[in-house]
Amino acid sequence: MKTANRNDFTQANPGGTSRSFFSKSGSGFWLIVLGAALWGVDPLFRILLLESMTSSQIVLLEHVVIALFVAPILWKNRAELKGLGLRHVGALLFISWGGSALATLMFTLALQYAGGAFNTVLLLQKLQPLFAIILAHFMLKESLPRRFGPLFLVALAGTYLLTFGFTIPVGHAGEFMQLGSLLALGAAALWGGSTVMGRYMVGKLKYETVTSLRFILALPLLLAITAGEGGAWALPAGGIALTLIGINLLAQALLPGLLSLLAYYKGLKTTKASVATLAELSFPMVGVLVNWLYGGEVITPAQMIGFLLIWSVLFIFSRQQTQEIGPEHAAKQQAA
């Protein structure tokens, strides 16, 4: 959940053809399925780590681990940093501080305050593309999809069903549930904004360089947040328990983190936007399955309807984007 542009379906292959999944493009589809499925197991690692550390401590250590792996990439591409303007620096800070540090922290807190309703936190992350579309309209002057207003209202209805079901929230239970949902929505908004900022940086820096800066630049902010929090590090004194925590943290940072990104973005190179949206269904499906096996929480009918409403809106927008860009790409191919 802390990763670069997880739902950036606008980066999918605009010139994708109607080739079967079992052709060359099929491998891209299954890479997206793999990458998104790895995000689905991310909450399990976080929930286990929350038993020993605070949310900020988990996110800080996670970034430290990933930063150690990406630091050599940044050093190799350091020449790209010359000539960066203030706008570029601002975009990178938004990507690292907002899309990486704060969004991951809010997602972890959402799991902590969801009161066991982890499915809601997971399914609300499908709203990330909607936030990206809105922010891209205002910041990059991109046109909104057709019938955006009515479809956005449909997505809001789905969001309500995911959060509150068929009932009207009242009393302390409703307020408690709202906190986890609002944190999850905040994380989705920041990740969506990070998608827009990442698109802004395309052409200026390599994606590998942006990814490295994303994690490394987030470290000072996370150090300040963790130090200001003043929470005790409730780690075991040593032995097997501490080793298990270390293995859990390493697996959480590398599997749902770096490995999922590598698979996802490699798959997007050969996969159409509308197909990528279908492949990304493995994220909530695996997340809900893991939550059912680990926590015994079963998705409710209201959550299923809400998720289908949101996914339908995203699928319509994705189809529009593919249809609009496809002819332009074909014309360029013929001209070439």
What tens digit of pLDDT does each residue of 240-257 get?
A: 777 888 888 888 888 887
Residue 44 lies in a domain: yes
Residue 120 lies in a domain: yes
Examine the pLDDT at 176 and tell me if it is beyond 60: no
Looking at residue 225, its pLDDT comes to 94
Looking at residue 118, its pLDDT comes to 84
In angstroms, the CA 70 to CA 258 distance is: 9
Q: Residue 85 belongs to what H/E stretch?
A: none
Q: Model confidence at 330, in pLDDT bands (50, 70, 90)? A: very low
Examine the pLDDT at 93 and tell me if it is beyond 80: yes
Q: What angle (nearest 5°) sits at the alpha carbon of residue 182, between those of residues 37 and 224?
A: 85
Looking at residue 317, its pLDDT comes to 84
Residue 130 lies in a domain: yes
Which of 246, 205, 284, 335 is closest to 7 using CA atoms? 284
Over residues 160-169, the mean pLDDT reads: 80
Residue 9 lies in a domain: no
Residue 196 lies in a domain: yes
Looking at residue 210, its pLDDT comes to 86
Q: Model confidence at 327, in pLDDT bands (50, 70, 90)? A: low
> Could you give phi then psi for residue 236, rounded to 5 degrees?
-60, 150
Asked if residue 188 lies in contact with residue 124, where contact means CB atoms within 8 angstroms, the answer is yes
Examine the pLDDT at 72 and tell me if it is beyond 90: yes
What pTM was computed for the model?
0.77
Q: Model confidence at 180, in pLDDT bands (50, 70, 90)? A: confident
Q: Return the top range by mean pLDDT from 12-16, 62-66, 112-116, 324-328.
A: 62-66
Share of the chain above pLDDT 90, in %: 21
Q: Residue 140 belongs to what H/E stretch?
A: none
Torsion on CA atoms 262, 267, 270, 275, rounded to nearest 10: -150
Looking at residue 256, its pLDDT comes to 83
Residue 294 lies in a domain: yes
Residue 19 lies in a domain: no
Looking at residue 8, its pLDDT comes to 41
Examine the pLDDT at 112 and tell me if it is beyond 50: yes
The total domain count for the chain is 1
Residue 88 lies in a domain: yes
| Selected residue with higher pLDDT from 258 and 13 | 258
Examine the pLDDT at 12 and tell me if it is beyond 90: no
Give residue-wise pLDDT tens across range 135-159: 888 887 878 888 889 999 999 898 8
Q: Which amino acid is at 279?
A: A
In angstroms, the CA 114 to CA 298 distance is: 15
Over residues 42-55, the mean pLDDT reads: 86
Give residue-wise pLDDT tens across range 266-291: 776 677 655 666 777 788 888 888 88
Q: Which domain holds residue 149?
A: 38-260+269-326
Examine the pLDDT at 26 and tell me if it is beyond 80: no
Quote the mean pLDDT of the chain.
79
Q: Model confidence at 9, in pLDDT bands (50, 70, 90)? A: very low
Helix (H, G, I), strand (E, B) or coil at 214: helix
Asked if residue 287 lies in contact with residue 39, where contact means CB atoms within 8 angstroms, the answer is yes
Looking at residue 185, its pLDDT comes to 92
In angstroms, the CA 89 to CA 81 distance is: 10
